[in-house]
Chains A and B, each alone.
Chain A
């Protein structure tokens, strides 16, 4: 046995019907593992927001989730446009989502702020034109 469970998910871009599949799968697994409900909730919400971001802004990407006995680490990596100004992107209500996305009910500018709010640790690595990797941790 290894001391971590590693799960990987491919998130396809521009497909809103499938956005949330990965976070929903992780949520189901965590519940079956007696992870405290509050931690499950934090993972589900922060990961779903990240997943949606990948669909809206980055044409999809890959999510790796690592579960150890004291922590759940989510690594969301995309090859999207990168984030120009992280501080601005972190502001509640700031959004670069185009109008067609907003009419779908997304793009309220709460994605990154919610990811920060619901995860215990968050790190953003981004390069314009190369992509973004967001690493979030929720401690059990």
Chain B
């Protein structure tokens, strides 16, 4: 299956340096003929290449704010991390009223749906002790990573859609009831902190059809909100519908906090996430109820579509939470069907060398031989991140051993 990827390359800006190939956690990028190429099957939309690219050639796609013109009634779904972009916010209403002032007809906080997911997660973990430890599925990058690389952990994934999906469905329902408009005239627009969530809303795992109509970036909305945050006639309306548990989801550890258990770990930053998954697969740690994983450092506040420094944003979000009640959304003991995946997530070994075991076996033998021949400097000059990655590219028929400048030099030396 080919995925929609928000993360992409503007090759006109690419200088063909090797920063991105070295940084990519799934070794999804090569430099060929002086330009980077992203192997779509390997890419998990984590955004690391966007962070590292000195030429801004790696970018994220998302919808333009003009998408608001396509709908008669527009509902904004702000991610909790949006609140953390501004200074001195002690009431999320300041941000939510500004969203209305900039042109949205209503707002539905993703944090509100997150509280419902927290309650359902609590119930689910309690009712399924055999599945422990459960791995959080709110970060789409983590879900894609597990799907491609950790077959033995798929059964541990918490089978819930990310809160934004539930928020979209509930927001649409509310808007239809309030306005009497048909679904297609209502635009449910998510304000996202990262490209992975853009990709997930366009083509998510576990979900057949997203209820999110468009995804815009926090960094695009940010400058539009600023002028509306000083004074607002509409200071009476209270849009805030969530508490500390929901808003806390923006920070690493927030989702786990909503589970009200001490038996958890929360890891953030893609390299740390991979390490936890590797160790978890090897059963290196004892009994835990829950594993919260966020691809970005600091959690969603660390997403590449944010404006504020992730750790400053974390502090701001904590400060905002201080004044909120614990939670304001409850499920009354019943699961909401929309919260669950529509279909199971299946292991998709995209990193395999050949189609069958026999073919991969032969290719792995060749990889071992090639690795012994290559210099082992991992210099990246061939366009692959490591000598081993080059060897794998060679057996896949995507590169040649002469792409290695050291092998080539020796070849010429021997000719003379």
Contacts from A to B (Cβ < 8 Å): 1-2, 5, 7, 20, 23-24, 27, 29, 31-35, 37-38, 40-41, 44-45, 48, 67, 69, 140
Contacts and interface: CB of A to CB of B under 8 A. Distances in A.
Nearest to B363: A33
Contacts of B282: 20, 23-24, 27, 44-45, 48
Nearest to A30: B364
A37 B365 CA distance: 20
Given A5-B368, A40-B152, A33 B361 contact: yes
B257 interface: no
A118 to B, nearest CB: 9
B272 interface: no
B351 interface: yes
Nearest to B356: A34
B101 to A, nearest CB: 51
Nearest to A44: B282
Contacts of A45: 282-283
6 nearest A-B pairs in the assembled complex, by CB-CB distance: A37-B151, A33-B360, A34-B357, A41-B152, A34-B360, A48-B282
Interface of B: 149, 151-152, 278-279, 281-284, 347, 349, 351-358, 360-365, 368, 392
A31 to B, nearest CB: 7
A33 B368 CA distance: 13
**Which of A1, A27, A31, A67 is packed against the most chain B CB atoms within 10 Å?**
A31
Contacts of A20: 279, 282, 284
- What DSSP secondary structure best describes chain A's contact surface? helix
A37 B152 contact: yes
Nearest to A24: B278
Given A45-B283, A140-B357, 4 more contacts: A5-B365, A32-B351, A34-B356, A41-B152
A33 B362 CA distance: 9
**Which of A32, A33, A69, A140 is packed against the most chain B CB atoms within 10 Å?**
A33
Contacts of A29: 364
Contacts of A67: 361, 364
Contacts of A5: 361, 364-365, 368
A69 B349 CA distance: 19
Contacts of A34: 349, 352-357, 360
A56 to B, nearest CB: 14
**Which of A27, A40, A41, A140 is packed against the most chain B CB atoms within 10 Å?**
A41
A45 B283 CA distance: 7
Given A37-B151, A37-B347, A45-B282, A31 B361 contact: no
Contact of A33 (B152, B278, B347, B352): B352
A69 B365 CA distance: 12
B287 to A, nearest CB: 12
B349 to A, nearest CB: 6
A31 B349 CA distance: 8
**Which of A27, A34, A40 is packed against the most chain B CB atoms within 10 Å?**
A34
Nearest to A108: B286
A41 B352 CA distance: 16
A33 B364 contact: yes
Contacts of A32: 351-353, 360, 364, 392
Contacts of B278: 24, 27
Nearest to A35: B357
Nearest to A41: B152
